[in-house]
Amino acid sequence: MTFITRFAPSPTGPLHLGHAFSALTAHDMAMASGGTFHLRIDDIDQSRSRPAWEAQIFDDLHWLGLTWPEPILRQSERLPRYREALSRLWQMGLLYPCACTRADIRAAASAPQEGACLHGPDGLIYPGTCRPATPPTGAMPEDSALRLDMAGALARLPAPPDFTETGLGPNGESGLITSANMARTVGDVVLARRDMGASYHLSVVIDDADQQITHVIRGQDLFEATQIHVLLQDLLGLPRPLYHHHRLIRDETGKRLAKRDDARAIATYRAEGATPADIRRMIGL
Ligand code: GLU
């Protein structure tokens, strides 16, 4: 079986032990299957991405002993490709412009209807303030946030989207995972941000398809978002990779490592004289 996977960090801070675990796991699994490991730079959020962090990513990963085919794919260079996919969804009548601020959503969500979920994989579930009664017509706006009409999207599909999990979700989920009630539990997610042109969910799905990724290997923190990704694949007629979510590396208090955990940055360990083998040992690989 073909095995093509990727590690897709965002260059918004130093790589830490959690990234090392993710990159090494994906790389080791690809090598064990005679497959391909891609490095992809998830720099769609240009307000937070920095060339210096990207350079550090290359340096740290090479130091860890990883190699990948060149040239690599960078999201910042692919906006037209994402807009093309958005425009297809727009023509299907599944997108609408949204002008709500985070504060607007917080205010509306603080008086939820009975039985409504408050939080989904993307934070607060959108209360539907800007959702039009009928799909908007005319040209897709260039400079506004666009949301997916989740109920409309689900109505397009013969069955709720599902995917095969070969690792483990945060609650031990594995095997065939079917999403239920996404209109209620996920809601109308943002697929284009005003300042970004495309959201993470949209760009990751297009990139995985264009790179013919067969195995998505990443942390359990993205398990819940996977239902959004497979829904988008179904709407856009894209192939479905297998998904393998892995455990997260935590600090001694049990908290997941974050970019600001400089103390656990790979660069810090390198500066202190650690070897790649030491890093593998620290993360149990
Ligand atoms: N860029 C994402 C992150 O750093 C990972 C995307 C993915 O693996 O799907 O969390």
Angle of helix 226-236 relative to helix 200-210, nearest 10 degrees? 60
Q: Please, are residues 161 and 238 in contact by the beta-carbon 8 Å criterion?
A: no
List the residue whose alpha carbon is closest to atom 5 of ligand 1: 8
Query: Which pLDDT score is estimated for 251?
Result: 83
With a 6 Å cutoff on the Cβ, whether 267 touches ligand 1 is no
Task: Name the phi and psi angles at 121, rounded to 5.
Answer: -60, -20
Structure tokens at 227: 């239902």
Q: Pick the closest to residue 234 from 32, 57, 89, 60 (CA basis).
A: 89
**Cα–Cα distance measured from residue 83 to residue 60, given in angstroms and rounded to the nearest whole number:** 32
Number of alpha helices (DSSP H) and beta strands (DSSP E) in the chain: 10, 12
The kind and range of the H/E element at 192 are: strand 190-192
Beta strands in 110-154 (DSSP E): 119-120, 123-124, 145-148
Q: Specify the CATH class of 78-239 in words.
A: alpha beta
Q: Is 111 exposed, middle or buried (0-12, 13-18, 19+ CB in 10 A)?
A: exposed
Task: Show me where the domains of the chain are located.
Answer: 1-77+250-285, 78-239
Q: How far is the CA of 175 from the centre of ligand 1 (A)?
A: 22
Query: Which pLDDT score is estimated for 253?
Result: 84
Query: Which pLDDT score is estimated for 85?
Result: 98
With a 6 Å cutoff on the Cβ, whether 204 touches ligand 1 is yes
Query: Which pLDDT score is estimated for 113?
Result: 65
Query: Which pLDDT score is estimated for 115?
Result: 62
**Cα–Cα distance measured from residue 152 to residue 94, given in angstroms and rounded to the nearest whole number:** 6
Q: Pick the closest to residue 147 from 78, 75, 94 (CA basis).
A: 94
> Which among 19, 73, 200, 221 is the best mutation to test ligand 1's pocket, defined by most ligand atoms within 8 Å of the CB?
200
Which atom number of ligand 1 is nearest to the Cα of residue 218?
A: 8
Q: Per-residue pLDDT tens for 1-56?
A: 899 999 999 999 999 999 999 999 999 999 999 999 999 999 999 999 999 999 99
Structure tokens at 104: 């607007």
With a 6 Å cutoff on the Cβ, whether 8 touches ligand 1 is yes
Q: How far is the CA of 10 from the centre of ligand 1 (A)?
A: 7
Q: Please, are residues 61 and 39 in contact by the beta-carbon 8 Å criterion?
A: yes
List the residue whose alpha carbon is closest to atom 7 of ligand 1: 8
Q: How far is the CA of 217 from the centre of ligand 1 (A)?
A: 10
Q: Specify the CATH class of 1-77+250-285 in words.
A: alpha beta
List the residue whose alpha carbon is closest to atom 2 of ligand 1: 9
**Cα–Cα distance measured from residue 81 to residue 202, given in angstroms and rounded to the nearest whole number:** 10
**Cα–Cα distance measured from residue 106 to residue 235, given in angstroms and rounded to the nearest whole number:** 29
Query: Which pLDDT score is estimated for 258?
Result: 73
Stretches in the chain below the pLDDT threshold 50: none
**Cα–Cα distance measured from residue 131 to residue 128, given in angstroms and rounded to the nearest whole number:** 5
Question: Residue 211 half-sphere exposure, CB side, CA atoms within 13 Å?
Answer: 32
Structure tokens at 260: 């600001």
